[in-house]
Amino acid sequence: MSCLFHHWSAKLRAHLAPDTQQSAEVQDSLVKSLYASPASLMIGALAGGALSFVVAYHAGRAEITTIATLIFLVAVSRSISAVYFLRQLAHHEGPTQQAWGLAYELGAWGYAALLGLLAFSTLILTGDASLHILSVCLVAAYSGGIAGRNAGRVHIAVGQTCFALLPTSLGLCIAGGLGYWVLATMLFLMIFAMAEITRTTHRIVVEALQGNYEKSQLATKFERLARFDSLTGVENRMAMQMRLRELFDKRRSDQDSMAVFWMDLDRFKEINDSLGHIIGDQLLCTVAARLSHALDGRGHVARFGGDEFILICPGTDRAVAGEIAHDVMAEFGHDFDVSGYHLTVTASMGIAVAPEDGCDSEELLQHADMALYQAKRAGRNRHAHFDWAMKERQNRTYELEMGLRSAMANGELLLHYQPIFDTVTGKIAICEALMRWDHPTMGRISPAEFIPVAESCSLIEPITAWALEQACRDAMQWEEHVRVAVNISPALIKSDGLPRAVIAALMGSGLKAKRLELEVTESIFLEDSGRTSLILSELQRIGLRLALDDFGTGYSSLGYLRDYAFDTLKVDQSFMRSVGEEGRDRAIAQSVAYLAHSLDVETVAEGIETEEQLRYARELGFSNVQGFVLSRPMPAADLLTMMADMKREKSNVVTLMQNRRRA
């Protein structure tokens, strides 16, 4: 028996110890479960109070009446506190769960003790068996009910059964008689039975709550993963799109403004490639933090992907958007310290503001992206506001891109040739191939417009291959000393495709390599990784001539003339334009011609439009001249006629001019 008692008391102690394993949320739910059903508390209070008064009435003893009154008062105050707790819970305010747990505990124990005391007093102060039965039944029924009801807090339930049953057992023992003694023993044992039931119920409740809690934690985690960018912690693309849509829907009127900024780091790939992805990732995190700092609560930051960020600022008009852009760009004014590296990073930004720049989230984003593209094109490290002209340009570019894909196959592309004359002999020395596109609906389109489009959509390679092939084939019909010049896009110089296309064109036509001249501009040296010079020297090795086109518009670095053995230097038309008027231009042009002569490099004065310019070009010592005053670009057949005429009439550039003057 004593062994059994030790076993149970140890269990009871274990139950009474606070359960530190449970999470705060589960503890909270357990306290809430105590107050979960104020109705059961009220029914218990009503039953307990009514029966106590019945016992007190029949017993006719002041002590019992006092206890019954106290029972009633405690019951009422507990019912009220339960309602109050639930109301506070609904308003998310009020004392902590520990305070409520303690209040419940004291109330419960007080109530149980009073019931126990009522039974005890009835048993020892009255001799009425029916009152004994009533009071003992009240306590037994209460204890039975409490085991389940208060399973959320094991020690409260166990305390309640002890406080209620122990005095009752004692009272039964004192009242005496075999039946009472047996009942006393049963009630005593009931404490342990009820404790076991409470413990089991508690375990089941806790497991269920814990399961629920873990499920909700998991759901929260997944929701976070779905909404936030795992690297930088700011919202991700999906959340950004949802937010933008919601903000649009929430706008009170169509006239409410909202700004969207699309930002992209300049040359982030280079940082990633040279310093590694870990540094790149850390940089992105720092950028995200700086963006949030710059916004300072004026909007939301999201990472669109890669090194692109989107900022959304509700209620922001164009003027305020400009200020925000200024603040954001200022963040890039100082270096980024990442793992010991001081990185100078710049960014470009496109801005679109509703309602003027777009009337839904998709359109606004698209326009901010378009503005970003403009900022990049304008030289990076700047911001650009969207304007509708950008959209028109883009639409036209798109149309050109679509058209270009089929232009070659449909025979819409053709080559015109502009002769370049030797200033000494006056004869045609070179013919420059200039591409033309006769679009079926848009008419003739300038190469200055469609060549950049071809470059941006990787069509420049097949187009150039075609031009090389066609030019070489046409040149085979000219006199042996006339060369053909083909313009080559800077982007193509780095590609392996160029030498292949050149060789195919030469082999296909049978043209000698020395009759083919490739015209390149200075921009090929801008992002030179060493590959450019390799390809250029390879092309020269097979006998091709290289011409530096538009000299004078770019950096005009003499370094290029030193490092690369160009065969021809074409001085840009803008340069030649004022040759006749201003002394400085004349001096520079003369020096270039002189320098080229010393380096044994041929020169071409481009864009000669007047006889005066022509005279000057010859005086300055240019070896060749090209321009409208001499000849406009013309179809291959017209060129052949011109060549034949010149040969027949033994004419040269001087007679050509005289003929023209006469005409």
Residue 257: how many CB atoms within 10 A of its CB? Answer: 19
Interface region with Mg ion, contact rule CB under 5 A, candidates 13-21, 561-569, 589-597, 604-612: 604-612
Is the Cβ of residue 328 or residue 505 nearer to ligand C2E in the bound state?
505
Q: Would you call 300 helix, strand, or coil by DSSP?
A: strand
Is 597 within 8 Å of 603 (Cβ atoms)? yes
Closer of 423 and 489 to ligand C2E (Cβ): 489
**Which C-beta is closer to ligand C2E: that of 44 or that of 627?**
627
Among ligand C2E, Mg ion, none, partner that 614 touches (CB below 5 to 8 angstroms by kind): none
Could you give the C-alpha distances from 153 to 159, 191, 200, in angstroms and in order?
10, 16, 12
List 487, 489, 568, 626, residue binding Mg ion (CB under 5 A): 487
Report how far residue 512's alpha carbon sits from residue 362's, in angstroms, rounded to the nearest whole number: 56
Residue 353 binding target from Mg ion, ligand C2E, none, CB below 5 to 8 Å by type = none
Q: From the CB of 549, what's the least distance to Mg ion, in Å?
A: 4
**CB closer to Mg ion, 461 vs 549:** 549
Among ligand C2E, Mg ion, none, what does residue 435 contact (CB within 5–8 Å per kind)? ligand C2E
Residues 418-477 that bind Mg ion (CB under 5 A): none
Partner interacting with residue 9 (select from ligand C2E, Mg ion, none; CB below 5-8 Å by kind): none
Q: String of b and e for 148-161 (b: at least 16 CB within 10 Å)?
A: ebbbbbbbbbbbbb
Q: How far apart are CA 598 and CA 249, in angstroms?
A: 71
d(CA 606, CA 569): 10
Among 357, 549, 585, 602, contact with Mg ion (rule: CB under 5 A): 549
Residue 446 binding partner per list ligand C2E, Mg ion, none, with a CB distance cut-off of 5 to 8 Å that depends on partner kind? ligand C2E
Q: Is 517 in the site for Mg ion (CB under 5 A)?
A: no
Q: How far is the CB of 645 from ligand C2E (least distance, A)?
A: 20
Nearer to Mg ion, 122 or 487 (CB): 487
* 550 forms part of the interface with Mg ion (CB under 5 A): yes
Say if CB 38 and CB 77 are below 8 A apart. Answer: no
Report the residue number, 434 or 593, with the smaller CB distance to ligand C2E. 434
Q: Least CB distance from residue 461 to ligand C2E, whole Å?
A: 11
For the chain, the helix, strand and coil percentages under 3-state DSSP, each to the nearest 5: 65, 15, 25
Residue with tokens 């520990």, as numbered in its chain: 98
Q: Do the beta carbons of residue 174 and residue 58 sit within 8 Å?
A: no
Q: Which does 448 bind (CB under 5 to 8 A by kind): Mg ion, ligand C2E, none?
A: ligand C2E
Answer yes or no whether residue 307 interacts with Mg ion by CB under 5 A: no
As measured in angstroms, the least distance from the Cβ of 434 to ligand C2E is 4
CA 180 centroid distance within chain: 79
- Strand (E) or helix (H) holding 571: strand 568-571
Q: Which is nearer to Mg ion, 34 or 548 (CB)?
A: 548
Nearer to ligand C2E by Cβ, of 324 and 415: the residue is 415
Minimum distance from residue 567 beta carbon to ligand C2E (Å): 16
Instruction: Name the residue nearer to ligand C2E (CB basis): 126 or 626.
Output: 626
- The token pair at 145 is 């009910």
d(CA 186, CA 179): 11
Cα 301 to Cα 186, 228, 239, 248, 368, distances in angstroms: 69, 11, 11, 17, 15
Stretch that binds Mg ion, among 107-115, 383-391, 549-557, 619-627 (CB under 5 A): 549-557
Amino acid identity for residue 85 in this structure: F
* In the complex, least distance from residue 359 CB atom to Mg ion, rounded to whole angstroms: 44
In the DSSP assignment, the letter for residue 625 is E
Binding partner of 115, given ligand C2E, Mg ion, none, CB within 5-8 angstroms per partner class: none
Least separation in angstroms between residue 580's CB and ligand C2E is 14
* Range list of β-strands (E), 234-274: 258-265
Close Cβ partners of 381 (under 8 Å, ≥ 6 residues apart)? 266, 332, 346, 347, 348
Q: Give the span between the Cα atoms of 194 and 162, in whole angstroms.
A: 10
Least distance to ligand C2E, CB of residue 448, Å = 4
Contacted entry of ligand C2E, Mg ion, none for residue 469, CB cut-off 5 to 8 Å set by kind:
none
Size of the site for Mg ion (CB under 5 A): 5
Task: Give contact residues for ligand C2E (rule: CB under 6 A).
Answer: 418, 433-435, 446-448, 451, 467, 487-489, 519, 549-550, 573, 607-609, 626-628, 633
**Maximum distance among all alpha carbons in the chain?**
153
Residue 633 zone, left/alpha/beta (φ > 0; ψ -120 to 50; rest):
beta
The whole-angstrom distance between residue 596's C-alpha and the CA centroid of its chain comes to: 52
Q: Which is nearer to Mg ion, 68 or 430 (CB)?
A: 430
- Closer residue to ligand C2E (CB): 438 or 609: 609
Whichever of 435 and 653 has its CB closer to Mg ion, that residue is 435
Whole-number CA gyration radius for the chain: 47
Round to whole Å and give the CA distance between 272 and 112. Answer: 72
Beta carbon of residue 561, minimum distance to ligand C2E (angstroms, whole number): 18
Q: CA 168, CA 177: separation in Å to the nearest integer? A: 15
Minimal distance in Å, beta carbon 487 to Mg ion? 4
Residue 22 DSSP label:
S
Query: Across the strands, what pairs with 546?
Result: 518
CB of 454 to ligand C2E, least distance (A): 8
Peptide bond into 355 cis (omega under 30): yes
Shorter beta-carbon distance to ligand C2E: residue 352 or 604: 604
Q: With binding defined as CB under 5 A, does residue 519 bind Mg ion?
A: yes
CB 334 within 8 A of CB 347: no
Question: Could you say whether residue 522 binds Mg ion (CB under 5 A)?
Answer: no
Residue 644: CB minimum distance to Mg ion, A = 25
Q: Across the strands, what pairs with 574?
A: none
Least distance in Å: CB of 626 to ligand C2E? Answer: 6
Contact criterion met (CB below 8 Å) for 572 and 553: yes
Residues near Mg ion, by CB under 5 A: 487, 519, 549-550, 606
